[in-house]
A and B are shown apart, each in its own frame.
Chain A
Amino acid sequence: MHEWALAEAIIKLIEYKALESGINRVNYVKVVLGELQQVDEEILLYAFNELLNILKNEKNIEVVKYQLVKEKAEFKCNRCNSIWSLNTNTVSADELEMIHFIPEIIHSFISCPHCGSHDFEIIRGRGLSVIVYPQ
């Protein structure tokens, strides 16, 4: 698990955006947790809140509001246009761990359930993404 490292990077992004905008109060941060990356929500939130406190105390940068949104993973086949969801039963625990680190690795482990193609897109729920709205 590397949730602490993820939280540290999010905090650095918030700090960068605050400095870029010349403000101390960042209005809103949206954190999207895509299902495929299997980020541990509890650990990420704990790390994020701890680091937010440090950001406030040491850099005087505050986040007014943040929201965590979960997103189910969905795939679309480029060959036959089928759309399907993640079925963790078809992937081993070892493979899931690798997907946790690099979600695109799923292309090695699954294929389109309709036509068997590995040429598919992760259309939703890939992993962690962050949008900072400074004002």
Chain B
Amino acid sequence: MQQDYRIFAIHSRLSSLKLAIPVISPKGGVGKSTISSMLSLALSDIGIATGLLDLDITNPTLHTILGIDIHSVKLEEIKGIKPFKLTERLEFMSIAFFTRDAALPLRGSDIVNTIRELLAIINWNSMILVIDTPPGLSDEVLELLLLLNSVNPHITKPLIITGQNILSIISTKRLLSLIRKEKIEPLGVLCNMCSNNEFIRDIAKAYSVEILGYIPFIQNFEETIGNTKAILKHAQSYLNILIDKILNLVKT
């Protein structure tokens, strides 16, 4: 890695960050993308310069959730590429801007190369970067943690998303066990589509991670896709503990 010139570009591109929040879950369908969108909309709404990166390289969907028409966006180039400004304080980047939303079938080493090129050319101007990742612990998540760790291990705090069903809880246990062995300090665990916090109380205690609240199953959530105002409203209802924790972290 030390012979890869892109690492040096990535270091300077990410040097202004105070906090990087990879949103991770070993299991698919637990709501990483919607929660990444909710969180970044809520942070930017309270005046924090926030970046949102869709790192689901082969299947990006954040632009759809945020109602961005990929084909109408022309990315601005100034010594690299400026992220798309969704609002005054929310910057967004996705591989979909480059593929024009076409399928991008890639194997492992190509995914690593894509992530390095992407992070080496994007000019973020944010204090907090929220990164949506694909499910599992494969190339995207491993490469992201590797790069963030090389920039500054202290700014990286993964947000772990789980559901309340048994398969989701078992997967989250596995992830927390691994994270603890690697001495990564997670932001905490958030239970999505949960009826209460009880489902994650035991694992939070066992792995000493903070419970950052729960989001109940929201009827007709599909109708909010593409409507940032409606998504922000949900964030303001359910992400208060998480946002308070983040505010405390960036204040210090």
Contacts and interface: CB of A to CB of B under 8 A. Distances in A.
Contact of A130 (B3, B80, B98, B99): B3
A117 B91 CA distance: 35
B174 interface: no
Contact of B120 (A9, A108, A122, A126): A9
B113 interface: yes
Nearest to A117: B105
Contact of B110 (A9, A20, A107, A130): A107
Interface residues of B, number: 32
Contacts of B12: 8, 12
B90 interface: no
A12 B8 contact: yes
B226 to A, nearest CB: 23
Interface string B71-84: 00000010111000
A104 B105 contact: no
A2 interface: yes
B118 interface: yes
B3 A2 contact: no
B5 interface: yes
Interface of B: 2-9, 11-12, 77, 79-81, 95, 98-100, 102-107, 110-111, 113-114, 117-118, 120-121
Interface of A: 1-2, 4-6, 8-10, 12-13, 16, 20, 78, 94-95, 98, 101-105, 107-109, 118-119, 121-122, 126-128, 130-132
Given A16-B2, A102-B118, 20 more contacts: A2-B77, A2-B80, A8-B9, A9-B6, A10-B5, A13-B5, A13-B7, A20-B2, A98-B99, A98-B100, A101-B81, A102-B98, A102-B121, A103-B113, A105-B95, A105-B114, A108-B100, A109-B102, A119-B105, A126-B113
